[in-house]
Chains A and B, each alone.
Chain A
Amino acid sequence: MFLQQLINGITIGSTYALVAIGYSMVFGVLELINFANGSVYMLGAYITLMIYVNMLGNFWLSFALSLVLTGMVGYCIDRFGLRRLRSKNVPKVTGLITTLGISQVIEHGVRIFFGSETKAFPNMIDFGYVKVAGATIGSSQVIILCTSLVLMICVSLLVYKTKLGKAMLAVSQSSEASKLMGINVNGIISLTFILSSSLAAVAGTMVGMYYQNVDASMGFSVGMKTLASAVLGGVGVLPGAMVGGLLMGIFESLGASYVSSGYRDAISFAILIAVILVKPTGLFGHKQINKV
């Protein structure tokens, strides 16, 4: 029972981690919570499904197309929604409201064009299951976990080991100084948005396969939970977001089975609040020095 819940928790937690990385990266470079990320997660799953059902009939090709398209959506969010705001030097809350507005546009756009009912989603990664010590491990769980881990490692390598990643870290420290060093700041920010959106789309599609259904409101609650995971780990710190996402999934799954399924999300949020109160910068966050 415990092992089973732990495995379920890790599986779902690994998808949370993918989305949480997106929040964390955007926060790192822009100091902005991108509330549209949850809707992009839902949009990714929808685009995969719609291309698969209505146009191509080949799931993996649809999945790939969906990643490209959501990446473009991410680019557009930054290019048309936020870049103008940056150049005007406006208060940070403005960007927050813009992303809230965009998430509303995406969510209701999906409702209008694809219908608001829950849709069945094919599970293409179900190849049976194995039993280990009384717990059932499905092939989809293994594949989801492995995909997430591989992606997380790739993103970490990209951010911490390449020149591009160095540029990203530089922008997150000071966009002014990076501009003076010849870094294309807007390009880096666009790249961050494209990456975070594609990661969200991967997570959305995998969760769609895992639960075998998608609906237009799935993005909202996951958006909040993943935002919470990013904060739990310490915003702007990638390993923090990963650990935060996994922990969030585990809390949720254990809380649902041992305490009460109705209070599942309440438990995860209560733990989040408790952690932040004890360690106000999240698990892996650095203490910031305030200058007056």
Chain B
Amino acid sequence: MNRLFEFCARNGWKITAVVLAAMIVFPFVVTSSYVLRIAITVLMYIMLSLSLNLLVGHLGLMSMGHAAFWGIGAYTAAILSTRFNVSSLGTFLAAMVIAGVFGMILGLPVLKLKGYYLTVVTLGFCEIIRLVELNSMNLTNGPLGISRIPSLNFFGVVFKSSRSVYFVALALVVLTVVVIYRIVNSRIGLAIMSIRDDDIAASSIGVNVFVYKVMVFIISGMIAGLAGAFYAHYISYIDPSGFTTGQSMDLVILAIFGGLGSIPGAILGAAVLTILPETMRALMEYRSLIYGIVIVIMMMVKPDGILGKVNFKYIRQRQQMEKASGKEGAQA
């Protein structure tokens, strides 16, 4: 296992390129619409898992309300496109802005809260948003949901086939990965992670804890909103039962299963836990039971998630050090 991680660390960029190439070729090799449908779902969950990972894994705030942002994005896109005929680019941007605004609304007051108090407030937020979606008939059509949401369309081109939708999803995921990678590997990322490790210590060395927390809340909400907008256009029918607190908890499971604070981990966690129930379709109602058992066992065997404890940056640095010291030894 360690050697595998070392190999991955050494060839980080190559592996990323290979995976990306494989993802691009994938829909041309596999044409089954069922498999493509799963792939698109996986890509969407990767976005959600990555955005939640930024909040939970990098900033260390346990949020149980992530599905609310997803739902806000989905409803924004659905309402704008069914009532005002806005094209997908417009709905995507609007969904991001509105989910970001809600992220700020939730983020501003709650950020002085610590630990489980924050968790419970986010949980309550998710529940309130769901009940608003369920009860405001004239805005969200209540429990009936919004149906006949138009397919994705950019600049007059309609993306209807599974393959084209897949590429839109892939593009969104690549965008998300790039944004989050850039954030995490920058001064901002270091500041965020110092807040996670100890916020008082961070503020004592001049990190503006409040600003960074609000920022991460907004970014994380925006990405979840974008995923929601994509979901609404893709699935063409949404109702409040898709964005419950239970969903939020499932998202938290995705992020922790993959490994908190790890971008490859978040991707892997979302992929494994979305594909796993699909492969167990034949087991019918036993599926959810087995899913629960898998999670319990996984937490016992690998409590930090698949890639939680693997720090590729550190492994890479160690390799470089070894190489450098090896060279010096040869010269001497």
Q: Which residues of A contact B (CB under 8 A)?
A: 27, 33, 35, 81, 84-85, 88, 90-91, 93-98, 100-105, 107-109, 111-112, 220, 224, 227-228, 231, 235, 260, 262-263, 265-266, 269-270, 272-273, 276-277, 280-282, 288, 290, 292
A269→B303 CA distance, assembly (Å): 32
A109→B291 CA distance, assembly (Å): 12
Interchain CB contact under 8 A, B303 and A91: yes
A186→B296 CA distance, assembly (Å): 20
Q: How many residue pairs bridge A and B at CB < 8 Å?
A: 130
A228→B120 CA distance, assembly (Å): 6
From A101, A227, A276, give the contact of B295 (CB < 8 A). Answer: A101
Query: B residues within 8 A CB of A97?
Result: 252-253, 256-257, 295, 299
Interchain CB contact under 8 A, B260 and A93: yes
Query: A residues within 8 A CB of B116?
Result: 27, 33, 231, 235
B288 sits at the interface (CB 8 A): yes
Instruction: State whether A292 and B204 are in contact (beta carbons under 8 Å apart), knowing that A33-B116, A265-B131, A277-B110 are contacts in the complex.
Output: yes
List 8 extra interface pairs beyond A33-B116, A100-B249, CB under 8 A: A93-B56, A95-B299, A101-B295, A269-B124, A276-B121, A277-B109, A292-B201, A292-B204
Instruction: State whether A108 and B296 are in contact (beta carbons under 8 Å apart), knowing that A224-B123, A231-B117, A276-B117 are contacts in the complex.
Output: no
Query: A residues within 8 A CB of B296?
Result: 81, 98, 101-102, 105
Interchain CB contact under 8 A, A292 and B117: no
Query: Most B CB atoms within 10 A — which of A109, A220, A266?
Result: A266
Query: B residues within 8 A CB of A262?
Result: 131, 134-135
Query: A residues within 8 A CB of B289?
Result: 104-105, 108-109, 112
A189→B120 CA distance, assembly (Å): 23
The minimal Cβ–Cβ distance linking A116 to chain B, given in whole angstroms, is 8
The minimal Cβ–Cβ distance linking B8 to chain A, given in whole angstroms, is 23
Interchain CB contact under 8 A, A94 and B304: yes
From A27, A94, A111, A276, give the contact of B299 (CB < 8 A). Answer: A94
Interface pairs (25), CB distance under 8 Å: A27-B116, A81-B300, A84-B300, A88-B303, A90-B303, A91-B304, A93-B56, A93-B256, A94-B304, A97-B252, A97-B253, A105-B289, A108-B288, A224-B245, A227-B123, A235-B117, A262-B135, A270-B128, A273-B110, A273-B125, A276-B120, A276-B121, A277-B113, A280-B113, A290-B200
Interchain CB contact under 8 A, A104 and B62: no
The minimal Cβ–Cβ distance linking B303 to chain A, given in whole angstroms, is 4
Query: A residues within 8 A CB of B120?
Result: 227-228, 231, 272, 276
The 5 lowest CB-CB distance pairs between A and B, nearest first, are A104-B292, A101-B295, A269-B124, A90-B303, A105-B292
Interchain CB contact under 8 A, A85 and B300: yes
Interchain CB contact under 8 A, B135 and A260: yes
B286 sits at the interface (CB 8 A): yes
Closest to A112 in B: B285
Interchain CB contact under 8 A, A282 and B293: no
The number of chain B residues with a CB under 8 A from chain A is 47
B281 sits at the interface (CB 8 A): no
Interchain CB contact under 8 A, A269 and B128: yes
A52→B6 CA distance, assembly (Å): 59
A98→B303 CA distance, assembly (Å): 9
The minimal Cβ–Cβ distance linking A106 to chain B, given in whole angstroms, is 8
Closest to B131 in A: A266
Proximity bits, B114-133, A CB within 8 Å = 1, else 0:
10110111011101100110
From A84, A88, A94, A108, give the contact of B292 (CB < 8 A). Answer: A108
Query: A residues within 8 A CB of B249?
Result: 35, 100
Instruction: State whether A263 and B292 are in contact (beta carbons under 8 Å apart), knowing that A100-B249, A111-B285 are contacts in the complex.
Output: no
From A94, A112, A282, A290, give the contact of B286 (CB < 8 A). Answer: A112
Query: A residues within 8 A CB of B134?
Result: 262
A88→B303 CA distance, assembly (Å): 9
B328 sits at the interface (CB 8 A): no
Query: B residues within 8 A CB of A282?
Result: 117
Instruction: State whether A108 and B285 are in contact (beta carbons under 8 Å apart), knowing that A276-B121, A280-B112 are contacts in the complex.
Output: yes
Interchain CB contact under 8 A, B299 and A98: yes
Query: Most B CB atoms within 10 A — which of A81, A220, A292?
Result: A292
The minimal Cβ–Cβ distance linking B163 to chain A, given in whole angstroms, is 34
Instruction: State whether A104 and B304 are in contact (beta carbons under 8 Å apart), knowing that A93-B62, A93-B256, A262-B131 are contacts in the complex.
Output: no
The minimal Cβ–Cβ distance linking B281 to chain A, given in whole angstroms, is 15
Closest to B119 in A: A33
Closest to B120 in A: A231
Interchain CB contact under 8 A, B124 and A228: yes
Closest to B244 in A: A220
Closest to B256 in A: A97
Query: A residues within 8 A CB of B62?
Result: 93, 96
A102→B296 CA distance, assembly (Å): 7
Query: B residues within 8 A CB of A272?
Result: 120-121, 124
Interchain CB contact under 8 A, A281 and B117: yes
A81→B117 CA distance, assembly (Å): 24
Query: B residues within 8 A CB of A81?
Result: 296, 300
The minimal Cβ–Cβ distance linking B276 to chain A, given in whole angstroms, is 13
Query: Most A CB atoms within 10 A — which of B204, B288, B296?
Result: B296
Interchain CB contact under 8 A, A265 and B113: no
**Which B54-77 residues have C-beta < 8 A from chain A?**
56, 62
Closest to A282 in B: B117
The minimal Cβ–Cβ distance linking A108 to chain B, given in whole angstroms, is 4
Closest to A227 in B: B120
Query: B residues within 8 A CB of A263?
Result: 131, 135
Closest to B110 in A: A277
